[in-house]
């Protein structure tokens, strides 16, 4: 599914000027441009996606938001993987342990914020009536759509460099911050030239979406056809009740930035908020931005030959038994956990997809299963974390100590959700029953080692199954 | 060589009985946790069967099924045993006092002297009239008959008392040589003044209170602004929340007391033993409270947590111990058990009517705008329960970070911002009518455990 997005994206080198001037984007022919950081020394050379296939502003916005959602989704998983790789029994000094723990907490925080961005992008899609975007490709992901080739890898100085470049604000801001030279060094250190890696700045996507939400001064005669911005009639305020709010998601704690929008202004504010926190062209508080936080870690992070903050986990681990051996999980127990991880990951995505399709209750006394789905989603994140910890303590191949396995974050064959509500619940039931099968297999195969967790998971599954059966009368 | 007894203790140092009208006291039971995120299971345990006539233990039994009511559906009271323990000279440990030990120092069980003194001062707490104190004393005894705790009060009618339970020195035997006393609480009945002429009051088991002598009937909490000006001391004595006694509402402020009294009590049981001319003594505290109607769950904050904080302070030593990790697990479990019993949707409603939760309290007490506490979309009981179950499950996977972050601090109980009102425990009221917080020690324990889990992961020991 995600590859279809790529098909419509043709990267072309142009000599056009940078997209800093938003007004340029509003002409019917203008298209959003992605800055290639490999060309940071020569900013006049730009890349741009050819989006001419789309004729209306709304359609272009939907397309760009889908790219945004995929990128946020992929970043989130990638950062989670990197964060959980930090630490391990090889860290023997308290100072190394402390620093790894601190970095882990920061990267996890950023990953959580990417999830908030992802939810915000889907809220914006909901606002303009676009289809939701939960898809992405499996790792490793080629760079044609993404800021750089996405890989699940332990956190290293090089991978950190890529994250810094990806979250970097625009050139003007970099110049203001006096970071041009440092960025150039980082670009070199990630071997951008050697590996032909083009690290694109994600923020340009949001710049372009913001431009499409902004009405320019319209000439009276003749009016441009089609309009160069999203029509007011396509911005649906009532959609707010289908959007995910921070109140509903985190019970109101300000952990995660999730923006909702019910009009043009709030949509622009939402885009601004996620841009400022990460990936945007400008920067709010440097220390609190993703860029600032990654750069701070990068500066402190151990270089090659120095101490190793991360565990020796595999790159892009997979359950695919035809994949190269350095990625393939062959350890039977790790494979079961990895497959269970994929299943629970799918469950999380399906809960979210379903929750977005249920209206929030109008009154405090109104009852809908939306809250249940959100609570389950919340719980799934905990499950994914627990299973990740188990995986990162198991070798990829039996009989070897390293590399260790890790969560594959493999996408299911489909994220399509049934047209009828009862069928959506049937899907949840089926996935829960599948999870029970994995739990049984793991209990049979591991004895006492994970007994308590598996017993608890079994109980949680059963309780969820009972609730689903109550809802669908089964 | 004869060991010298140098210290007496009664264990437990604080025993809570639960009211019940059945003549058959409750069997012992214990909790078993078989499902890490499921409810506790009640398992029967060995129970001493006492013959009330002789005071002897007839034997031990372990019932097949734990029943909280008898065959006539009467609630079985929880009647704790209070055991005497001793410490010998040069020893650190306490051992149960038995007939053998008594013999070794040349004493009979009759050398043990017991005394009980309990009271119910609920009416006195409000009226301030010392004649409203209900007290019962046994005087010293060494026999094995049942000693009734007859609650007397100066404002009662002549010869009227409220039974506050009884105590019985269990007769030691060869099979059961330990020295123990049993406190059996009262039935859980309501007493009060006679109904007004021509009226009937089906609630009252016996009309004991003389409204001609005391003021408890007709009493009201002095709550109005005028009361505060006229008699600030009296107004300040009002409990917060106020008006929490049976009565009839009158006007905007007043709740006129029916003069009801219950048969709950608390007090002290003492034991004395004279050895070689010296008198050793010990005491324990007893209390009788209402029955538990959700025995397979525990509240998230209990008297036990208060006592622990009072004894050890709010802070813990670093690093957290395995025992403390287990206690944190128990706190999270208790949180789940607490929400299991809550109608969260109802308690989240923004209404000034009775029967809703903290939004009402914030509105009535502090004139905060009426708003639900949490987003109604997630206030559903099943959703909240599912969230707690997942947190408990995550603990098995070594994570507690979210739970630790969202706990309410003790100095946030009156913060009415939306974010703070949603802190945990949410939707619950504390004794001052504000949002409930866990004890400082509980909060610190959870936070330290969360840090411990993170460091464990660091060391690859998840």
Domain boundaries, chain A: 2-300, 332-472
Confidence grade of residue B400 (pLDDT, cut at 50, 70, 90): confident
pLDDT of residue A252: 56
Q: Cβ B383–A372 below 8 Å, yes or no? A: yes
- Searching chain B, which residue's CA lies closest to the CA of residue A358? B377
The pLDDT of residue B399 is above 60: yes
Give domain status of residue B297, yes or no.
no
Beta-sheet pairing, B5-11 with B47-50:
unpaired
DSSP state of B431: T
Cα–Cα distance between A19 and A41 in angstroms, integer? 17
The pLDDT of residue B397 is above 70: yes
List the structure tokens of A80: 């989670």
Is B243 found in the same domain as B278? no
Is B254 found in the same domain as B169? no
CATH 3.30.70.60 at A332-472, yes or no: no
pLDDT of residue B455: 67
Is B158 found in the same domain as B86? yes
Give domain status of residue B296, yes or no.
no
DSSP state of A121: H
B337 Cβ neighbours under 8 A, 6+ residues apart? B39, B40, B294, B296, B297, B298, B299, B300
The pLDDT of residue B327 is above 90: yes
pLDDT of residue A136: 84
Is B392 found in the same domain as B380? yes
Distance of residue B350 Cα from the nearest chain A Cα, in angstroms: 8
- What is the tally of structural domains in chain B? 3
Confidence grade of residue B452 (pLDDT, cut at 50, 70, 90): confident
Is B128 found in the same domain as B11? yes
Specify whether the CB–CB gap between A95 and A230 falls below 8 A: no
Specify whether the CB–CB gap between B33 and B40 falls below 8 A: yes
Distance of residue B306 Cα from the nearest chain A Cα, in angstroms: 28
Write out the H or E segment, with its range, that includes residue B42: strand B41-44
Cα–Cα distance between B395 and A121 in angstroms, integer? 32
- Searching chain B, which residue's CA lies closest to the CA of residue A108? B401
Cα–Cα distance between A430 and A443 in angstroms, integer? 20
| A82-97 b/e (C-beta count within 10 Å ≥ 16 → b) | bbbbbbbeebeeeebb
Secondary structure class of B386 (helix, strand, coil): helix
Is B211 found in the same domain as B92? no
Is B270 found in the same domain as B141? yes
Domain that holds residue B130: 5-187+262-289
Is B28 found in the same domain as B59? yes
List the structure tokens of A420: 């009828």
The tally of CA atoms less than 13 A away on the side-chain side of residue B368 is 21
Q: Which of A86, A91, A251 to mutate to test binding with chain B, by most B CBs within 10 Å of its CB? A: A251
Is B237 found in the same domain as B368? no
Q: Cβ B376–A366 below 8 Å, yes or no? A: yes
| List of chain A residues with pLDDT < 50 | 1, 10-48
Q: Cβ A252–B375 below 8 Å, yes or no? A: yes
pLDDT of residue B67: 95
pLDDT of residue B315: 95
The pLDDT of residue B89 is above 90: yes
List the structure tokens of A262: 């019910």
pLDDT of residue A287: 83
Is B352 found in the same domain as B342? yes
Is B144 found in the same domain as B44? yes
Q: Mean per-residue pLDDT for B124-151?
A: 97
Q: Cβ B390–A464 below 8 Å, yes or no? A: no
pLDDT of residue B256: 96
In terms of phi and psi (left: phi > 0; alpha: psi -120 to 50; beta: otherwise), the region of A106 is alpha
Give domain status of residue B298, yes or no.
no
The dihedral built from the CA positions of residue A344, A347, A349 and A352, taken in this order, carries a sign that is negative
Distance of residue B453 Cα from the nearest chain A Cα, in angstroms: 11
Is B431 found in the same domain as B339? yes
Residues 333-392 of B with CB under 8 A from A: 345, 348-350, 372, 374-380, 382-384, 386-387, 389-392
- Searching chain B, which residue's CA lies closest to the CA of residue A393? B460
């Amino acid at each position: 599914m995600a590859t279809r997005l790529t098909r419509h994206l043709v990267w072309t080198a142009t000599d056009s000027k940078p997209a800093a001037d938003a007004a340029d984007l509003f002409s019917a022919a203008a298209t959003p441009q992605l800055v290639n950081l490999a060309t940071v020394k020569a900013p006049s050379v730009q890349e741009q996606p050819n989006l001419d296939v789309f004729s209306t502003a709304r359609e272009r916005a939907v397309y760009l938001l889908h790219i945004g959602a995929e990128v946020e989704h992929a970043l989130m998983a990638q950062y989670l993987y990197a964060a959980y790789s930090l630490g391990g029994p090889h860290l023997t000094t308290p100072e190394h342990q402390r620093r790894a723990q601190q970095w882990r907490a920061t990267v996890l925080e950023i990953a959580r914020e990417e999830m908030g961005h992802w939810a915000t992008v889907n809220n914006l899609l909901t606002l303009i009536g676009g289809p939701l975007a939960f898809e992405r490709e499996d790792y490793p992901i080629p760079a044609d759509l993404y800021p750089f080739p996405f890989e699940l890898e332990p956190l290293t100085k090089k991978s950190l460099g890529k994250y810094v470049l990806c979250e970097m604000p625009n050139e003007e801001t970099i110049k203001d911050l006096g970071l041009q030279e440092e960025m150039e060094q980082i670009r070199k250190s990630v071997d951008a030239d050697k590996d032909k890696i083009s690290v694109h700045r994600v923020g340009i996507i949001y710049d372009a979406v913001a431009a499409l939400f902004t009405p320019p001064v319209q000439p009276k005669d003749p009016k441009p056809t089609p309009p160069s911005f999203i029509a007011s009639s396509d911005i649906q305020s009532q959609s707010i009740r289908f959007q995910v709010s921070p109140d509903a998601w985190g019970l109101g704690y300000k952990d995660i930035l999730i923006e909702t929008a019910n009009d043009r202004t709030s949509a622009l504010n939402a885009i601004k908020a996620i841009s400022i926190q990460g990936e945007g062209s400008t920067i709010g508080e440097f220390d609190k931005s993703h860029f600032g936080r990654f750069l701070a870690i990068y500066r402190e992070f151990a270089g090659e030959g120095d101490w190793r903050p991360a565990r020796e986990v595999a790159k892009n681990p997979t359950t695919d038994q035809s994949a190269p051996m350095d990625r393939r999980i062959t350890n039977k127990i790790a494979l079961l956990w990895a497959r269970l991880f994929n299943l629970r990951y799918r469950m999380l995505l399906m809960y979210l997809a379903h929750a977005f399709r249920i209206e929030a209750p109008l009154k405090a006394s109104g009852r809908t299963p939306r809250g249940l789905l959100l609570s389950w989603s919340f719980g799934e994140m905990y499950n994914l974390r627990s299973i990740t910890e188990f995986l990162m303590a198991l070798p990829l191949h039996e009989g070897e100590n390293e590399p260790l396995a890790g969560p594959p974050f493999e996408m299911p064959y489909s994220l399509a959700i049934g047209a009828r509500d009862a069928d959506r619940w049937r899907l949840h039931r089926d996935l829960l029953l599948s999870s029970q099968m994995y739990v049984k297999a793991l209990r049979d195969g591991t004895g006492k080692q994970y007994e308590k967790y598996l017993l608890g998971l079994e109980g949680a599954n059963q309780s969820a199954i009972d609730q689903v059966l109550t809802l669908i009368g089964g | 060589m004869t060991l010298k007894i140098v210290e007496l203790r009664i264990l437990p140092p604080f025993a809570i009985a639960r009211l019940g009208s059945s003549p058959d006291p409750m069997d012992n039971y214990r909790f078993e946790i078989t499902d890490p995120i499921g409810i506790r299971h009640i398992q029967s345990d060995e129970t001493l069967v006492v013959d009330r006539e002789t005071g002897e233990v007839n034997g031990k039994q372990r019932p097949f099924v734990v029943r909280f009511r008898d065959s006539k559906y009467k609630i079985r009271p929880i009647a704790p045993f209070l055991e005497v323990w001793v410490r010998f000279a040069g020893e650190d440990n306490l051992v149960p006092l038995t007939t053998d030990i008594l013999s070794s120092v040349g004493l009979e069980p009759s050398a043990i002297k017991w005394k009980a003194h309990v009271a119910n001062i609920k009416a006195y707490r409000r009226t301030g009239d010392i004649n409203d104190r209900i007290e019962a004393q046994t005087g010293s005894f060494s026999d094995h008959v049942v000693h009734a705790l007859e609650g007397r009060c100066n404002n009662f009618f002549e010869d009227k008392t409220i039974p506050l339970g009884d105590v019985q020195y269990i007769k030691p035997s060869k099979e059961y040589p330990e020295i123990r006393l049993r406190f059996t609480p009262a039935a859980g009945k309501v007493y009060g003044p006679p109904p007004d002429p021509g009226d009937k009051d089906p609630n009252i088991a016996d009309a004991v209170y003389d409204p001609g002598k005391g003021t408890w009937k007709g009493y009201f909490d002095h709550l109005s602004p005028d009361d505060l000006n006229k008699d600030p001391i009296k107004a300040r004595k009002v409990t917060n929340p106020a008006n929490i006694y049976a009565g009839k509402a009158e006007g905007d402020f007043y709740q006129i007391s029916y003069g009801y009294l219950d048969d709950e009590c608390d007090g002290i049981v003492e034991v004395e033993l004279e050895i070689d001319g010296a008198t050793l003594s010990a005491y324990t505290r007893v209390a009788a409270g209402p029955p538990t109607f959700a025995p397979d769950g525990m509240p998230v904050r209990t008297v036990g947590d208060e006592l622990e904080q009072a004894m050890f302070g709010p802070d813990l030593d670093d690093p957290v111990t395995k025992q403390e990790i287990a206690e944190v697990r128990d706190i999270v479990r208790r949180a789940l058990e607490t929400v299991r019993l809550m109608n969260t949707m109802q308690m989240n409603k923004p209404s000034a009517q009775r029967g809703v939760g903290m939004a009402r309290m914030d509105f009535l007490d502090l004139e905060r705008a009426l708003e639900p506490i949490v987003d109604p979309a997630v206030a559903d009981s099943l959703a909240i329960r599912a969230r707690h179950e997942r947190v408990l499950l995550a603990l098995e996977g070594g994570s507690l970070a979210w739970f630790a972050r969202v706990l309410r601090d003790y100095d946030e109980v009156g913060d009415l911002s939306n974010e703070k009102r949603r802190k945990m425990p949410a939707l619950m009221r504390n004794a001052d009518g504000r949002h409930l917080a866990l004890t400082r020690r509980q909060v610190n324990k959870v936070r330290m455990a969360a840090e411990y889990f993170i460091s464990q992961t660091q060391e690859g020991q998840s």
